[in-house]
């Protein structure tokens, strides 16, 4: 019995290391592919698949499998998707924009994968601040982090045909709308009673931030 725990811990550590190596590979290859003009179109087609792989990795290391988790996950998906739906058809919340083809199949002119993206970002930023004791403050920090990520992402998104802004101008209100929607979902995340620690969350989040930060220097004219 004394040897079982160390061996299991060693196996878990190896599994985590392999997962991190895999993340570096998929984001590294994606970064190179999107930065080389001759490969760009091919790698753009893989964007939804990369988000789904990220989702799979998150769920592989998620520990809080109880009834509250799918309720939160569905809330994150549909609130995020619904906010984008309002934004696309009314111009409220984020401003006037339309989606391009990169993010894949659309429902009512909004890519279905965008709801997954909202879940991923809230989950990862929420996990990073999950030890903050105050729910309101933790939701504020998570939403602020998501707004900072959106600021980094916006120029890349336009360059890679994720979406387009009217008159090619990103309105300041976009970031306020993003923050408010993120805060609502983060607050639900905090109130949902499930285990929120995820050993892969911080590494995944940092990898995504670095991915889009570097793309700002490789895909923008």
DSSP state string for 171-217: -HHHHHHHHHHHHHHHHHHHHS-S----TTHHHHHHHHHHHHHHHHH
User: Coil, helix or strand for 98?
Assistant: strand
From the list 179, 176, 173, 50, the residue with the least C-alpha distance to 122 is 179
- Give the separation between CA 173 and CA 121, rounded to whole angstroms: 20
- This prediction's pTM: 0.91
Q: Is the pLDDT assigned to residue 191 strictly greater than 90?
A: yes
Task: Say how many C-beta atoms besides its own lie within 10 A of residue 180's C-beta.
Answer: 13
> Which letter does DSSP use for residue 3 in this model?
T
For 125-174, the pLDDT digits (tens) are 999 999 999 999 999 999 999 999 999 999 999 888 889 898 888 888 99
Q: Which residues pair with 107 in a beta bridge?
A: 110
85-98 pLDDT tens trace: 999 999 888 989 99
The neighbour count for residue 99, using CB atoms within 10 Å, is 19
Q: What sections of 36-134 are H helices per DSSP?
A: 37-45, 47-60, 68-90, 113-128
User: Taking a C-beta distance cutoff of 8 angstroms, is the pair 102, 161 a contact?
Assistant: yes
Query: pLDDT band for position 64 (50/70/90)?
Result: confident
* Dist. CA 59–CA 68, nearest whole Å: 15
Closest among 111, 44, 37, 119 to 75, alpha carbons compared:
119
As a whole number, mean pLDDT of residues 65-73 equals 94
pLDDT of residue 4 exceeding 60, the answer is no
Question: What is the DSSP code (8-state) at residue 92?
Answer: -
Query: Residue 113 pLDDT more than 80?
Result: yes
Q: Which whole-number Å values give the CA distances from 118 to 39, 115, 139, in the listed order? A: 27, 5, 14
């Amino acid at each position: 019995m004394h040897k079982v725990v160390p061996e299991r811990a060693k196996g878990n550590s190896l599994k985590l290391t392999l997962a991190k190596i895999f993340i570096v590979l998929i984001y590294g290859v994606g970064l190179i592919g999107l930065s080389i003009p001759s490969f760009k179109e091919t790698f753009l087609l893989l964007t939804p698949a990369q988000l789904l792989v990220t989702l799979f990795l998150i769920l592989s290391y998620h520990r809080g499998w109880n009834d509250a988790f799918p309720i939160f996950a569905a809330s994150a998906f549909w609130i995020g998707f619904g906010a984008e739906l309002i934004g696309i058809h009314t111009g409220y919340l984020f401003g006037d924009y339309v989606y391009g083809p990169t993010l894949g199949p659309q429902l009512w002119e909004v890519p279905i994968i965008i709801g997954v993206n909202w879940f991923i970002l809230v989950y990862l930023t929420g996990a990073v601040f999950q030890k903050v004791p105050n729910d309101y403050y933790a939701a504020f920090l998570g939403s602020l982090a998501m707004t900072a990520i959106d600021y980094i992402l916006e120029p890349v998104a336009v360059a890679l045909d994720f979406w387009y802004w009217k008159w090619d101008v990103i309105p300041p209100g976009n970031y306020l709308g993003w923050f408010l929607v993120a805060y609502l979902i983060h607050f639900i995340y905090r109130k949902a009673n499930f285990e929120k620690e995820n050993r892969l969350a911080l590494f995944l989040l940092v990898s995504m931030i670095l991915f889009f930060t570097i793309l700002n220097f490789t895909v923008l004219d």
